[in-house]
Chains A and B, each alone.
Chain A
Protein backbone atom coordinates (compact mmCIF):
# COMPACT_ATOMS: atom_id res chain seq x y z
CA UNK A 1 0.00 0.00 0.00
CA UNK A 2 1.32 3.45 -0.86
CA UNK A 3 1.80 5.85 2.05
CA UNK A 4 -1.40 7.90 2.17
CA UNK A 5 -1.65 11.67 2.67
CA UNK A 6 -3.92 12.57 5.58
CA UNK A 7 -5.67 15.91 6.04
CA UNK A 8 -8.93 17.09 7.59
CA UNK A 9 -11.60 18.11 5.08
CA UNK A 10 -13.84 19.25 7.95
CA UNK A 11 -13.71 19.01 11.74
CA UNK A 12 -15.31 15.55 11.42
CA UNK A 13 -13.95 14.18 8.13
CA UNK A 14 -10.39 12.93 7.62
CA UNK A 15 -9.34 12.71 3.97
CA UNK A 16 -7.05 9.74 3.20
CA UNK A 17 -5.46 10.12 -0.26
CA UNK A 18 -3.49 7.38 -2.01
CA UNK A 19 -3.02 9.18 -5.37
CA UNK A 20 -4.27 12.13 -7.43
CA UNK A 21 -5.14 10.08 -10.50
CA UNK A 22 -7.11 6.92 -11.28
CA UNK A 23 -4.93 3.80 -11.26
CA UNK A 24 -5.18 0.09 -10.48
CA UNK A 25 -2.80 0.51 -7.53
CA UNK A 26 -4.79 3.39 -5.99
CA UNK A 27 -8.05 1.46 -6.48
CA UNK A 28 -6.62 -1.57 -4.67
CA UNK A 29 -5.44 0.73 -1.85
CA UNK A 30 -8.99 2.12 -1.53
CA UNK A 31 -10.44 -1.41 -1.48
CA UNK A 32 -7.99 -2.49 1.23
CA UNK A 33 -8.66 0.63 3.30
CA UNK A 34 -12.43 0.18 2.99
CA UNK A 35 -12.22 -3.47 4.09
CA UNK A 36 -9.91 -2.56 6.99
CA UNK A 37 -12.05 0.32 8.34
CA UNK A 38 -15.24 -1.73 7.99
CA UNK A 39 -13.68 -4.59 9.94
CA UNK A 40 -11.90 -2.45 12.57
CA UNK A 41 -13.51 1.01 12.85
CA UNK A 42 -11.32 3.84 14.16
CA UNK A 43 -12.44 5.64 17.38
CA UNK A 44 -15.74 7.49 16.78
CA UNK A 45 -16.03 6.30 13.17
CA UNK A 46 -19.52 7.01 11.78
CA UNK A 47 -19.09 6.74 8.02
CA UNK A 48 -16.77 6.06 5.08
CA UNK A 49 -16.88 7.68 1.65
CA UNK A 50 -14.60 5.79 -0.77
CA UNK A 51 -13.75 7.36 -4.15
CA UNK A 52 -11.33 6.71 -7.06
CA UNK A 53 -8.07 7.15 -5.15
CA UNK A 54 -9.12 8.33 -1.68
CA UNK A 55 -11.40 7.50 1.21
CA UNK A 56 -13.04 9.99 3.57
CA UNK A 57 -13.28 8.75 7.17
CA UNK A 58 -16.09 10.55 9.01
CA UNK A 59 -15.94 10.52 12.82
CA UNK A 60 -17.90 11.92 15.75
CA UNK A 61 -15.63 14.82 16.74
CA UNK A 62 -16.61 14.41 20.40
CA UNK A 63 -15.54 10.76 20.52
CA UNK A 64 -11.79 11.13 20.01
CA UNK A 65 -9.10 13.75 19.45
CA UNK A 66 -7.91 14.49 15.92
CA UNK A 67 -4.51 13.03 16.83
CA UNK A 68 -6.07 9.79 18.10
CA UNK A 69 -8.11 9.40 14.90
CA UNK A 70 -5.06 10.04 12.69
CA UNK A 71 -2.95 7.56 14.66
CA UNK A 72 -5.67 4.89 14.47
CA UNK A 73 -6.09 5.45 10.73
CA UNK A 74 -2.35 5.06 10.14
CA UNK A 75 -2.19 1.92 12.31
CA UNK A 76 -5.22 0.36 10.59
CA UNK A 77 -3.82 1.07 7.12
CA UNK A 78 -0.41 -0.27 8.12
CA UNK A 79 -2.02 -3.50 9.33
CA UNK A 80 -4.01 -3.75 6.07
CA UNK A 81 -0.89 -3.43 3.92
CA UNK A 82 -0.84 -7.07 2.88
CA UNK A 83 -4.60 -7.69 3.07
CA UNK A 84 -5.62 -10.26 0.44
CA UNK A 85 -8.34 -8.77 -1.75
CA UNK A 86 -11.06 -11.16 -2.90
CA UNK A 87 -11.24 -11.88 -6.65
CA UNK A 88 -13.53 -9.27 -8.26
CA UNK A 89 -16.99 -10.48 -9.32
CA UNK A 90 -18.06 -10.09 -12.96
CA UNK A 91 -21.57 -8.65 -13.27
CA UNK A 92 -23.26 -8.64 -16.70
CA UNK A 93 -25.82 -5.89 -17.19
CA UNK A 94 -28.24 -6.00 -20.14
CA UNK A 95 -28.78 -2.61 -21.82
CA UNK A 96 -31.27 -1.46 -24.43
CA UNK A 97 -29.52 1.21 -26.55
CA UNK A 98 -32.71 2.01 -28.55
CA UNK A 99 -35.38 4.73 -28.35
CA UNK A 100 -37.03 5.75 -26.09
CA UNK A 101 -34.23 4.82 -23.66
CA UNK A 102 -31.14 6.24 -25.42
CA UNK A 103 -31.88 9.93 -24.82
CA UNK A 104 -28.43 11.30 -25.74
CA UNK A 105 -26.99 8.56 -27.95
CA UNK A 106 -27.19 10.78 -31.08
CA UNK A 107 -25.28 13.58 -29.33
CA UNK A 108 -22.57 11.22 -28.09
CA UNK A 109 -22.13 9.73 -31.59
CA UNK A 110 -22.03 13.18 -33.21
CA UNK A 111 -19.41 14.47 -30.75
CA UNK A 112 -17.28 11.36 -31.20
CA UNK A 113 -17.64 11.54 -35.00
CA UNK A 114 -18.73 7.90 -35.23
CA UNK A 115 -21.99 6.07 -35.95
CA UNK A 116 -24.51 5.13 -33.27
CA UNK A 117 -23.73 1.45 -33.86
CA UNK A 118 -20.05 2.13 -33.23
CA UNK A 119 -20.84 3.90 -29.95
CA UNK A 120 -22.88 0.88 -28.84
CA UNK A 121 -20.16 -1.56 -29.94
CA UNK A 122 -17.47 0.43 -28.11
CA UNK A 123 -19.53 0.90 -24.92
CA UNK A 124 -20.65 -2.75 -24.79
CA UNK A 125 -17.22 -4.01 -25.83
CA UNK A 126 -15.35 -2.63 -22.84
CA UNK A 127 -14.77 -4.18 -19.43
CA UNK A 128 -15.47 -1.74 -16.58
CA UNK A 129 -14.44 -1.56 -12.94
CA UNK A 130 -16.65 -0.23 -10.12
CA UNK A 131 -14.26 2.32 -8.59
CA UNK A 132 -16.86 3.25 -5.95
CA UNK A 133 -20.54 3.88 -5.32
CA UNK A 134 -21.11 7.58 -4.83
CA UNK A 135 -23.19 10.66 -5.61
CA UNK A 136 -26.50 8.85 -5.03
CA UNK A 137 -27.57 5.58 -3.36
CA UNK A 138 -26.17 2.67 -5.40
CA UNK A 139 -24.69 4.83 -8.21
CA UNK A 140 -21.57 3.09 -9.62
CA UNK A 141 -18.64 5.16 -10.90
CA UNK A 142 -17.19 2.93 -13.60
CA UNK A 143 -13.69 3.34 -15.02
CA UNK A 144 -12.82 1.76 -18.36
CA UNK A 145 -14.83 3.85 -20.82
CA UNK A 146 -13.15 3.78 -24.28
CA UNK A 147 -11.44 7.17 -24.74
CA UNK A 148 -13.25 8.08 -27.94
CA UNK A 149 -16.60 7.96 -26.09
CA UNK A 150 -15.54 10.62 -23.56
CA UNK A 151 -18.32 13.23 -23.64
CA UNK A 152 -18.68 16.29 -21.42
CA UNK A 153 -21.62 16.54 -19.04
CA UNK A 154 -24.81 18.04 -20.50
CA UNK A 155 -24.90 21.83 -20.07
CA UNK A 156 -28.52 21.58 -18.86
CA UNK A 157 -28.98 18.81 -16.27
CA UNK A 158 -32.26 16.90 -16.53
CA UNK A 159 -34.80 17.28 -13.73
CA UNK A 160 -35.49 13.52 -13.76
CA UNK A 161 -33.37 10.71 -15.14
CA UNK A 162 -35.23 7.37 -15.10
CA UNK A 163 -33.93 4.54 -12.89
CA UNK A 164 -31.72 2.14 -14.86
CA UNK A 165 -30.40 4.82 -17.24
CA UNK A 166 -26.92 3.92 -18.49
CA UNK A 167 -24.91 7.10 -18.87
CA UNK A 168 -21.51 8.66 -19.50
CA UNK A 169 -19.86 11.93 -18.42
CA UNK A 170 -16.28 12.93 -19.11
CA UNK A 171 -14.25 9.71 -19.12
CA UNK A 172 -16.65 8.03 -16.66
CA UNK A 173 -19.45 5.55 -17.17
CA UNK A 174 -22.29 5.09 -14.70
CA UNK A 175 -25.83 3.84 -14.17
CA UNK A 176 -28.63 5.82 -12.47
CA UNK A 177 -29.97 3.42 -9.80
CA UNK A 178 -33.02 5.50 -8.85
CA UNK A 179 -34.93 8.30 -10.56
CA UNK A 180 -33.02 11.49 -9.69
CA UNK A 181 -31.90 14.71 -11.36
CA UNK A 182 -28.61 14.48 -13.26
CA UNK A 183 -26.39 15.86 -16.00
CA UNK A 184 -24.83 12.73 -17.52
CA UNK A 185 -25.45 11.68 -21.15
CA UNK A 186 -27.97 8.81 -21.22
CA UNK A 187 -27.20 6.24 -23.94
CA UNK A 188 -29.44 3.35 -22.87
CA UNK A 189 -31.39 1.73 -20.05
CA UNK A 190 -31.14 -1.55 -18.14
CA UNK A 191 -34.11 -3.49 -16.76
CA UNK A 192 -31.88 -4.71 -13.89
CA UNK A 193 -32.61 -3.16 -10.49
CA UNK A 194 -29.44 -1.56 -9.10
CA UNK A 195 -30.95 -0.28 -5.85
CA UNK A 196 -32.30 -1.30 -3.39
CA UNK A 197 -30.68 -3.67 -2.61
CA UNK A 198 -27.36 -2.52 -4.11
CA UNK A 199 -26.49 -4.74 -7.08
CA UNK A 200 -22.86 -3.62 -7.34
CA UNK A 201 -20.02 -3.14 -4.89
CA UNK A 202 -16.59 -1.56 -4.98
CA UNK A 203 -14.17 -3.63 -7.08
CA UNK A 204 -16.76 -5.47 -9.21
CA UNK A 205 -16.13 -5.80 -12.96
CA UNK A 206 -19.05 -4.89 -15.23
CA UNK A 207 -19.93 -5.79 -18.83
CA UNK A 208 -22.88 -4.36 -20.76
CA UNK A 209 -24.89 -6.71 -23.02
CA UNK A 210 -27.00 -5.02 -25.74
CA UNK A 211 -30.65 -6.17 -25.78
CA UNK A 212 -33.47 -5.22 -28.20
CA UNK A 213 -36.33 -3.01 -27.02
CA UNK A 214 -38.84 -5.89 -27.06
CA UNK A 215 -36.62 -7.83 -24.64
CA UNK A 216 -36.49 -4.88 -22.24
CA UNK A 217 -39.35 -5.98 -20.00
Chain B
Protein backbone atom coordinates (compact mmCIF):
# COMPACT_ATOMS: atom_id res chain seq x y z
CA UNK B 1 0.00 0.00 0.00
CA UNK B 2 1.58 3.30 -1.12
CA UNK B 3 0.92 6.53 0.74
CA UNK B 4 1.19 10.20 -0.07
CA UNK B 5 2.27 12.57 2.71
CA UNK B 6 1.31 16.23 2.56
CA UNK B 7 4.45 18.22 3.39
CA UNK B 8 2.79 21.53 2.50
CA UNK B 9 -0.62 22.37 0.99
CA UNK B 10 0.58 25.57 -0.72
CA UNK B 11 -1.99 28.34 -1.12
CA UNK B 12 -4.85 25.81 -0.90
CA UNK B 13 -5.11 22.17 -1.95
CA UNK B 14 -8.28 20.09 -1.91
CA UNK B 15 -9.51 16.69 -3.03
CA UNK B 16 -11.76 17.14 -6.09
CA UNK B 17 -13.62 14.88 -8.49
CA UNK B 18 -16.41 15.87 -10.89
CA UNK B 19 -18.63 16.89 -7.98
CA UNK B 20 -22.07 15.80 -6.77
CA UNK B 21 -24.77 16.43 -9.37
CA UNK B 22 -28.40 15.83 -8.43
CA UNK B 23 -28.47 17.33 -4.93
CA UNK B 24 -29.59 20.84 -5.93
CA UNK B 25 -32.97 20.31 -4.19
CA UNK B 26 -31.00 20.03 -0.91
CA UNK B 27 -29.22 23.35 -1.57
CA UNK B 28 -26.02 21.58 -2.67
CA UNK B 29 -24.37 22.79 -5.88
CA UNK B 30 -22.60 20.25 -8.10
CA UNK B 31 -19.17 21.84 -7.46
CA UNK B 32 -16.18 19.51 -8.02
CA UNK B 33 -13.03 20.41 -9.93
CA UNK B 34 -12.58 24.08 -10.84
CA UNK B 35 -11.01 22.93 -14.14
CA UNK B 36 -12.64 19.60 -15.02
CA UNK B 37 -10.76 19.34 -18.34
CA UNK B 38 -7.41 19.15 -16.54
CA UNK B 39 -8.74 16.77 -13.87
CA UNK B 40 -9.98 14.41 -16.60
CA UNK B 41 -6.68 14.64 -18.48
CA UNK B 42 -4.61 13.87 -15.36
CA UNK B 43 -6.79 10.83 -14.64
CA UNK B 44 -6.65 9.54 -18.24
CA UNK B 45 -2.85 9.78 -18.23
CA UNK B 46 -2.51 7.40 -15.24
CA UNK B 47 -5.31 5.02 -16.26
CA UNK B 48 -7.95 6.16 -13.76
CA UNK B 49 -11.62 6.72 -14.59
CA UNK B 50 -11.97 10.36 -15.68
CA UNK B 51 -14.03 11.23 -12.61
CA UNK B 52 -11.60 9.79 -10.03
CA UNK B 53 -10.69 12.16 -7.18
CA UNK B 54 -7.33 13.94 -7.50
CA UNK B 55 -5.59 16.77 -5.68
CA UNK B 56 -6.52 20.28 -6.89
CA UNK B 57 -3.69 22.70 -6.11
CA UNK B 58 -4.25 26.45 -6.36
CA UNK B 59 -1.44 28.89 -7.23
CA UNK B 60 1.30 26.48 -6.16
CA UNK B 61 3.59 25.90 -3.19
CA UNK B 62 2.35 22.39 -2.39
CA UNK B 63 4.78 19.56 -1.57
CA UNK B 64 4.25 15.81 -1.15
CA UNK B 65 6.39 12.82 -0.17
CA UNK B 66 5.74 9.26 -1.40
CA UNK B 67 5.94 6.14 0.74
CA UNK B 68 5.90 3.30 -1.76
CA UNK B 69 6.12 3.52 -5.55
CA UNK B 70 3.47 5.37 -7.53
CA UNK B 71 2.60 6.56 -11.01
CA UNK B 72 1.42 10.16 -11.16
CA UNK B 73 0.42 12.84 -13.66
CA UNK B 74 0.04 16.60 -13.32
CA UNK B 75 -2.24 18.61 -15.62
CA UNK B 76 -3.51 22.17 -15.73
CA UNK B 77 -1.56 25.24 -14.69
CA UNK B 78 2.18 25.17 -15.11
CA UNK B 79 3.52 24.71 -11.56
CA UNK B 80 7.13 23.66 -12.10
CA UNK B 81 7.62 20.50 -10.02
CA UNK B 82 10.47 18.61 -11.67
CA UNK B 83 8.29 16.23 -13.70
CA UNK B 84 6.92 16.92 -17.17
CA UNK B 85 3.33 18.17 -17.19
CA UNK B 86 0.62 16.18 -19.01
CA UNK B 87 2.80 13.02 -18.81
CA UNK B 88 2.51 9.87 -16.67
CA UNK B 89 5.62 9.58 -14.50
CA UNK B 90 6.84 6.81 -12.18
CA UNK B 91 7.78 8.02 -8.69
CA UNK B 92 10.01 5.85 -6.48
CA UNK B 93 9.31 5.37 -2.78
CA UNK B 94 10.90 8.17 -0.77
CA UNK B 95 10.79 10.73 -3.58
CA UNK B 96 9.26 14.16 -3.05
CA UNK B 97 7.23 16.36 -5.39
CA UNK B 98 7.58 20.08 -4.71
CA UNK B 99 5.48 22.52 -6.68
CA UNK B 100 6.60 26.05 -7.53
CA UNK B 101 4.27 28.97 -8.16
CA UNK B 102 2.09 29.06 -11.24
CA UNK B 103 3.71 30.70 -14.26
CA UNK B 104 0.49 30.40 -16.26
CA UNK B 105 -3.00 29.65 -14.98
CA UNK B 106 -3.84 29.02 -11.33
CA UNK B 107 -4.81 25.40 -10.70
CA UNK B 108 -3.13 22.06 -11.36
CA UNK B 109 -4.31 18.51 -10.68
CA UNK B 110 -2.17 15.71 -9.26
CA UNK B 111 -3.63 12.30 -10.09
CA UNK B 112 -2.15 9.04 -8.79
CA UNK B 113 -2.70 5.73 -10.61
CA UNK B 114 -5.32 3.75 -8.68
CA UNK B 115 -6.71 6.83 -6.96
CA UNK B 116 -6.96 7.55 -3.24
CA UNK B 117 -8.82 5.79 -0.42
CA UNK B 118 -11.37 8.46 0.56
CA UNK B 119 -14.67 8.92 2.34
CA UNK B 120 -17.54 10.14 0.19
CA UNK B 121 -20.34 12.52 1.11
CA UNK B 122 -23.41 12.66 -1.13
CA UNK B 123 -21.78 10.38 -3.72
CA UNK B 124 -18.58 12.41 -4.09
CA UNK B 125 -15.17 12.86 -2.46
CA UNK B 126 -15.12 16.55 -3.51
CA UNK B 127 -14.42 19.06 -0.76
CA UNK B 128 -16.92 21.93 -0.78
CA UNK B 129 -14.67 24.43 0.95
CA UNK B 130 -17.03 27.12 2.18
CA UNK B 131 -19.67 24.79 3.65
CA UNK B 132 -17.31 22.04 4.84
CA UNK B 133 -19.27 19.35 2.96
CA UNK B 134 -16.93 16.46 2.06
CA UNK B 135 -14.19 17.51 4.46
CA UNK B 136 -11.60 20.26 4.60
CA UNK B 137 -8.65 21.42 2.52
CA UNK B 138 -5.46 19.37 2.84
CA UNK B 139 -3.13 20.32 5.70
CA UNK B 140 0.52 19.62 6.48
CA UNK B 141 0.80 16.11 7.94
CA UNK B 142 -2.24 14.65 6.15
CA UNK B 143 -1.69 11.17 4.73
CA UNK B 144 -3.53 9.87 1.65
CA UNK B 145 -3.62 6.12 1.02
CA UNK B 146 -3.27 5.09 -2.61
CA UNK B 147 -5.62 2.36 -3.86
CA UNK B 148 -3.44 -0.70 -4.59
CA UNK B 149 -3.11 -1.68 -8.26
CA UNK B 150 -2.40 0.49 -11.20
CA UNK B 151 -5.66 2.08 -12.24
CA UNK B 152 -8.53 0.30 -13.91
CA UNK B 153 -7.93 1.53 -17.45
CA UNK B 154 -5.14 1.65 -19.95
CA UNK B 155 -3.20 4.88 -19.41
CA UNK B 156 -3.64 7.21 -22.38
CA UNK B 157 -0.95 9.43 -23.80
CA UNK B 158 -1.76 12.98 -24.80
CA UNK B 159 -0.12 14.01 -28.05
CA UNK B 160 0.99 17.58 -28.69
CA UNK B 161 -2.21 18.49 -30.51
CA UNK B 162 -4.46 17.14 -27.72
CA UNK B 163 -2.48 19.00 -25.07
CA UNK B 164 -2.56 22.20 -27.15
CA UNK B 165 -6.35 21.88 -27.48
CA UNK B 166 -6.76 21.56 -23.69
CA UNK B 167 -4.45 24.50 -23.04
CA UNK B 168 -6.30 26.64 -25.61
CA UNK B 169 -9.54 25.90 -23.73
CA UNK B 170 -8.27 26.50 -20.20
CA UNK B 171 -6.00 29.52 -20.65
CA UNK B 172 -8.55 31.83 -22.30
CA UNK B 173 -8.88 35.43 -21.14
CA UNK B 174 -11.75 36.25 -23.51
CA UNK B 175 -14.77 34.42 -22.14
CA UNK B 176 -17.82 33.81 -24.31
CA UNK B 177 -21.13 34.56 -22.56
CA UNK B 178 -24.83 34.25 -23.29
CA UNK B 179 -27.09 37.05 -22.05
CA UNK B 180 -28.59 36.26 -18.64
CA UNK B 181 -32.24 35.98 -17.61
CA UNK B 182 -32.23 39.58 -16.29
CA UNK B 183 -30.13 41.12 -19.11
CA UNK B 184 -33.15 43.20 -20.15
CA UNK B 185 -33.12 44.88 -16.72
CA UNK B 186 -29.98 46.72 -17.86
CA UNK B 187 -30.03 49.46 -20.49
CA UNK B 188 -28.45 48.81 -23.87
CA UNK B 189 -25.72 51.29 -22.97
CA UNK B 190 -24.93 49.38 -19.74
CA UNK B 191 -24.81 46.07 -21.64
CA UNK B 192 -22.42 47.62 -24.15
CA UNK B 193 -20.20 48.85 -21.29
CA UNK B 194 -20.27 45.36 -19.79
CA UNK B 195 -18.89 43.97 -23.07
CA UNK B 196 -16.41 46.79 -23.75
CA UNK B 197 -14.91 46.82 -20.24
CA UNK B 198 -11.71 44.93 -19.46
CA UNK B 199 -12.54 43.36 -16.06
CA UNK B 200 -9.92 42.62 -13.40
CA UNK B 201 -10.27 39.45 -11.33
CA UNK B 202 -10.24 40.28 -7.59
CA UNK B 203 -7.50 39.36 -5.12
CA UNK B 204 -9.08 36.25 -3.60
CA UNK B 205 -8.72 32.80 -5.17
CA UNK B 206 -12.19 31.56 -4.40
CA UNK B 207 -14.17 28.53 -5.59
CA UNK B 208 -17.50 30.19 -4.71
CA UNK B 209 -17.25 33.17 -7.01
CA UNK B 210 -14.91 35.54 -8.82
CA UNK B 211 -15.31 39.19 -7.91
CA UNK B 212 -14.64 41.52 -10.81
CA UNK B 213 -13.23 45.03 -10.63
CA UNK B 214 -13.88 47.61 -13.32
CA UNK B 215 -16.86 49.85 -13.88
CA UNK B 216 -19.94 49.58 -11.73
CA UNK B 217 -22.91 48.32 -13.77
CA UNK B 218 -26.27 49.85 -12.85
CA UNK B 219 -29.82 48.61 -13.34
CA UNK B 220 -32.03 50.79 -15.53
CA UNK B 221 -34.55 50.97 -12.63
CA UNK B 222 -34.26 49.52 -9.12
CA UNK B 223 -36.07 46.15 -9.14
CA UNK B 224 -36.41 43.30 -6.68
CA UNK B 225 -35.79 39.80 -8.04
CA UNK B 226 -37.67 36.93 -6.44
CA UNK B 227 -34.94 34.45 -5.42
CA UNK B 228 -34.49 31.86 -8.18
CA UNK B 229 -32.10 29.09 -9.19
CA UNK B 230 -28.61 30.31 -10.14
CA UNK B 231 -26.54 28.40 -12.70
CA UNK B 232 -22.78 27.84 -12.73
CA UNK B 233 -21.02 30.72 -14.51
CA UNK B 234 -23.83 33.22 -13.94
CA UNK B 235 -22.58 36.81 -13.76
CA UNK B 236 -24.67 38.49 -11.10
CA UNK B 237 -24.70 42.19 -10.35
CA UNK B 238 -25.20 42.95 -6.64
CA UNK B 239 -26.37 46.32 -5.32
CA UNK B 240 -22.92 47.90 -5.55
CA UNK B 241 -22.73 47.14 -9.28
CA UNK B 242 -19.52 45.08 -9.12
CA UNK B 243 -20.18 41.84 -10.99
CA UNK B 244 -19.50 38.42 -9.44
CA UNK B 245 -19.10 35.30 -11.57
CA UNK B 246 -20.72 32.39 -9.72
CA UNK B 247 -18.16 29.60 -9.67
CA UNK B 248 -18.19 25.89 -8.80
CA UNK B 249 -19.18 26.28 -5.14
CA UNK B 250 -21.87 28.80 -6.05
CA UNK B 251 -25.04 29.16 -4.03
CA UNK B 252 -27.82 27.14 -5.67
CA UNK B 253 -30.25 30.10 -5.62
CA UNK B 254 -29.81 33.86 -5.59
CA UNK B 255 -31.70 37.11 -5.63
CA UNK B 256 -29.39 39.37 -7.63
CA UNK B 257 -30.00 40.08 -11.32
CA UNK B 258 -27.84 38.03 -13.70
CA UNK B 259 -26.66 40.05 -16.68
CA UNK B 260 -24.90 37.20 -18.49
CA UNK B 261 -23.61 33.63 -18.12
CA UNK B 262 -20.24 32.18 -19.11
CA UNK B 263 -20.75 29.45 -21.75
CA UNK B 264 -20.12 25.79 -20.86
CA UNK B 265 -17.12 25.64 -23.21
CA UNK B 266 -15.34 28.36 -21.19
CA UNK B 267 -16.15 27.20 -17.63
CA UNK B 268 -12.80 25.40 -17.25
CA UNK B 269 -11.04 28.66 -18.17
CA UNK B 270 -12.67 30.29 -15.11
CA UNK B 271 -10.81 27.73 -13.00
CA UNK B 272 -7.45 28.88 -14.40
CA UNK B 273 -7.93 32.62 -13.80
CA UNK B 274 -5.57 34.20 -11.29
CA UNK B 275 -6.04 37.19 -9.02
CA UNK B 276 -5.43 40.42 -11.03
CA UNK B 277 -5.94 38.75 -14.42
CA UNK B 278 -7.69 40.95 -16.99
CA UNK B 279 -10.59 39.34 -18.83
CA UNK B 280 -13.20 40.37 -21.40
CA UNK B 281 -16.66 39.03 -22.17
CA UNK B 282 -17.85 38.23 -25.67
CA UNK B 283 -21.61 37.68 -26.12
CA UNK B 284 -22.68 34.75 -28.31
CA UNK B 285 -26.05 33.18 -29.11
CA UNK B 286 -27.28 30.07 -27.29
CA UNK B 287 -26.90 28.09 -30.54
CA UNK B 288 -23.30 29.27 -30.91
CA UNK B 289 -22.60 28.43 -27.25
CA UNK B 290 -23.75 24.85 -27.80
CA UNK B 291 -21.74 24.55 -31.02
CA UNK B 292 -18.56 25.58 -29.17
CA UNK B 293 -18.82 22.35 -27.19
CA UNK B 294 -18.67 20.23 -30.33
CA UNK B 295 -15.43 21.84 -31.51
CA UNK B 296 -13.11 22.36 -28.54
CA UNK B 297 -10.47 25.07 -28.78
| Residues of A bordering B, CB below 8 Å | 7-13, 15, 17, 20-22, 34, 38, 46-56, 58, 61-62, 65-66, 132-139, 141, 177-181, 195-196, 198, 201-202
Contact = CB atoms under 8 A, between A and B. Distances in A.
Interface string B219-241: 00000001111111110000000
30 contacts: A9-B180, A9-B234, A10-B178, A10-B231, A10-B263, A11-B178, A11-B264, A11-B289, A11-B290, A12-B264, A47-B21, A49-B229, A49-B230, A50-B25, A51-B226, A53-B226, A54-B229, A56-B231, A58-B21, A61-B289, A65-B290, A132-B25, A133-B25, A136-B27, A136-B251, A137-B26, A141-B253, A179-B132, A181-B130, A201-B25
Interface in B202-260: 226-234, 251-254, 258
B22 to A, nearest CB: 6
A52 B26 CA distance: 14
B38 to A, nearest CB: 19
B132 A51 contact: no
Contact of B253 (A8, A135, A178): A135
B3 interface: no
B293 A134 contact: no
Nearest to A138: B27
A134 B264 contact: no
Contacts of A135: 27, 251-254
A34 B229 CA distance: 13
B131 interface: yes
B232 A49 contact: no
- Among A9, A135, A178, max chain B CB count under 10 A is at A9
Contact of A47 (B30, B130, B293): B30
A9 B181 contact: yes
A58 B27 CA distance: 14
Nearest to A169: B255
B24 interface: yes
A34 to B, nearest CB: 6
Interface in B150-174: none
Contacts of B286: 8, 11, 66
A49 B226 contact: no
A13 B121 contact: no
B131 A47 contact: no
A136 B294 CA distance: 33
Contacts of A138: 26-27
B27 A20 contact: no
Contacts of B180: 9-10
